[in-house]
Amino acid sequence: MDCKRIDRSQVKGHGALLTEEIRRYTPSAEALSDWLFLHPEVSGRETASSKRIADLLDSQGYQVTHPVGGLDTAFKAVFGGNTHRRKMAIMAEYDALPDIGHACGHNISAAISVLAGLALRPMQDILDLDVHVIGTPAEERGGGKATLIENGVFDGYDMAMMVHLYDSNLLAPLCLALRGNTYTFKGKSAHGAAAPWEGKNALNGVQLMFHGVDMLRQHVKPDVRIHGIIREGGQIPNTVPEAACCEFYVRAMDKEYADEVQRLVDDCANGAALATQTHCEKTASFPSYSNLKKNEPGLEILAEVYQELELELNGDPDKIFASTDAGNVSFVCPTFHPCLQIAPAGTALHTLDFAEYAGGNAGRKALAKGAQIIGLQTLKIFSDARLLADVARDFAK
């Protein structure tokens, strides 16, 4: 079809088919979510998780490339001949956190993406749209989507989308740009009692860098977050540490300002090295995360979707959510990353309390709603050529 403007009744009719398909595959999504929750794998090591998802999609007729984009645990799933004029990426995240498992709800999020991908298959011809499911590992640590972008996996898409789980419903959480770097200070060892003057204390360099960063906080904008840890500080007290290292994250609402603050943090490291007569080497801990770029025409439609699904927008859009490498995708194509509530307000992500909801009935009940969010957003945007053009224009700003 030519994808001319379709009236609301036609969209509603396609929505009924979407709902039927979601209902059909919800048991498979529940089983997938439960399995992921019971078998958590941390960033970059999601070998069994990615295979489980890829195998499910393969069993349903998807052509799956696994691995893809230079990442062993990434995949790309395509249904049909991949010959439609428009293309959409449904992103699936499935990495877990050390010690606390799926306390970010990625088991649910991944299953939602798979469920939406399965449910939208009958509508590809109707919408003249290829719907791809892309497995994007290492969101928690590693910036997997940034690597996939660099290797061309996200080239040529008209839209990308996923649903994140949260303690409230939000159309577009406030996601900060993120820079992560490790600073290794190298000095000279010496006996701490017999001849400390012969040493150059690398740990002192790390300590002084922390002091410099603490003083910097007064002179950055309120949205900035700077937080760090000491990774190595020496082996024994009576030896002057020859090597010490620390890791810092820098976040800001705007990726350009995050870069500016990052340069100031680098100055703190270099100044600390100069003052302690040590040498400092900086290495990136993972690829940089961009802030999540908003798309106003698309968000207006997403608000309609939430209203139709009777999901109250009860979250604070100005509250800082954290960071996500989906932000990188939002600078490649129009990207939507709404949040769906599965836990009571005030239940923080990355906690065991949130994990209980992700692994329980609340998470399972969210699967169909989450897939409907993706499915209805897709139907509304790709069934209206003028709206699709508005989304594209807003993205190009």
- Confidence grade of residue 10 (pLDDT, cut at 50, 70, 90): low
Confidence band of 15 (pLDDT split at 50, 70, 90) = confident
CA dihedral over 65, 66, 72, 75, signed as positive or negative: positive
How far is residue 370's CA from residue 189's CA, in Å, rounded to a whole number? 57
Residue pair 292/335 in contact (Cβ under 8 Å)? The answer is yes
CA angle 19, 157, 149 (to 5 degrees): 120
pLDDT tens for 58-95 read 999 999 999 999 999 999 999 999 999 999 999 999 99
Q: How many CA atoms lie within 13 A of 320 on its CB side?
A: 14
The average pLDDT across 187-206 equals 97
Q: What percent of the chain has pLDDT over 70?
A: 97
Q: What pLDDT, on a 0 to 100 scale, did the predictor assign at position 39?
A: 98
pLDDT in tens, 100-112: 999 999 999 999 9
CA distance readout (Å), 225 to 177, 208, 256: 10, 19, 14
CA 362 – CA 368 distance, rounded (Å):
12
Domain boundaries, the chain: 8-174+291-396, 177-284
**Span 223-251, pLDDT tens digits:** 999 999 999 999 999 999 999 999 999 99
pLDDT of residue 11: 62
Query: Under CATH, which architecture does the 8-174+291-396 domain have?
Result: 3-Layer(aba) Sandwich (3.40)
Assess whether pLDDT exceeds 60 at residue 7.
Answer: no
Residue showing tokens 């590809």: 124
18 three-state secondary structure: helix
CATH match of 177-284 with 3.30.70.360: yes
Structure confidence by residue, pLDDT tens digits, 303-342: 999 999 999 999 999 999 999 999 999 999 999 999 999 9
Residue range 193-215: average pLDDT?
97
Q: How far apart are CA 84 and CA 302, in angstroms?
A: 24
